[in-house]
Structure 1
Amino acid sequence: MEFPTNSFLQDTNSSSSSDNDTLEFFEKAYNELEGSNRPKKKMVDRDRIHANEVLIEDYFVENPVYNAEMFRDHFRLPKDLFLKIVGYIEVSKEWFQEYYDGMGKRSFTPTQKFTSAIRQLAISNPPHQFDEYLAMSDRTSRECLQFFCHVIIKLYAKEFLRKPTRHDIACIYAAHEARWHLEWRNCPRELRVAYFRVTLKDQPSYLKR
């Protein structure tokens, strides 16, 4: 039986030493990226209480900065429906309730959280856009949207997230007619020949091309 020669042992030791050096190099590089040399994320002390006061003054006091019509334009729903849903969500989902953390700091109010979710859905605002107005980080804004969608599906899926009935369609036509109906005298001249009015039995009239 032949035993390894000294040269073979030396080659094996040098190869093992090279592998160890390579491993140590990558460990050092990884530690430098993940360790103290990596810039730490700055913690921002946001004044969420003041932001809530500004929000209330803008929309929810007796004489707000923005009236009911402007509220509907900003949130894409009437104020009374907004407040009604806020009440339902606050009762149904603990995350939307106001609380105090271990340091005694008050959380965001249900109105702030609901505002963040609705504005993201209504006008496609990115989450970080609420940092200045609502004093809310992008992570919290994303959580608001996520929990809002979950609780809305849970609360209203059976009643609203379904195919509309004939009665629903009739109500939609009536609401659309009341809001967007144009008298023919106000119709642009170039469109007067392109559209004509159709009236179905027991249904509101509508325009057809």
Structure 2
Amino acid sequence: MKLFYMPGACSLAPHIVAREAGLELELVKVDGKTKSTEADTNFLDTNPNGYVPALVLPDGELMTEASVLVQYLADQKPETGLMPAAGVMERYRVQQWLAFVATELHKVFGSFFKPNTPEATKEINRELLGRRLAYVDGKLEGRPYLTGDDFTAADAYLWTILGWARLVGIDLSSFANIQRFLGTVGARPAVQQALRAEGLA
């Protein structure tokens, strides 16, 4: 499998999940401005939408969207528990968190990286993020990960998106449980491996 990524982008989440699952990935770095890969190919030929992550399967099939890729990769090694089995409530809880991270955090954080986002919109989004982060912080009370004691694909996605806070000036210091979560996930060997591979550690 071939994962197209940009260092520190949301593509870090499926990268982490793949390493947690012990899956072999070929990493292809993409330049976000030029849309060219490190092999000097046009990334738009792979994903016309121009964003990462993009996962090319051995048969040439293309998959996109971080929240879907983390599930697909986790399902390749069900014994890891990164995604609970289909049909059980635990799986729906992980999917619920994946949807929350995608729509309530990822999308909102994304507005800060767009140069044409009005300041008024950014201020509204700062207030919204404050409420959403307070919710996450409360849910992490007394537990190391989003759904309990076990690390899942949702934790990889949340950790990746929370890493953007320092880049856009969102202060997380008042969220003690989020701070603990960031430290716990960041210390995992697979996370450290992914960071090193992307030149982030």
TM-score (norm 1): 0.24
More helix by share: 1
Larger Rg: 1
Structure having the higher strand fraction is 2
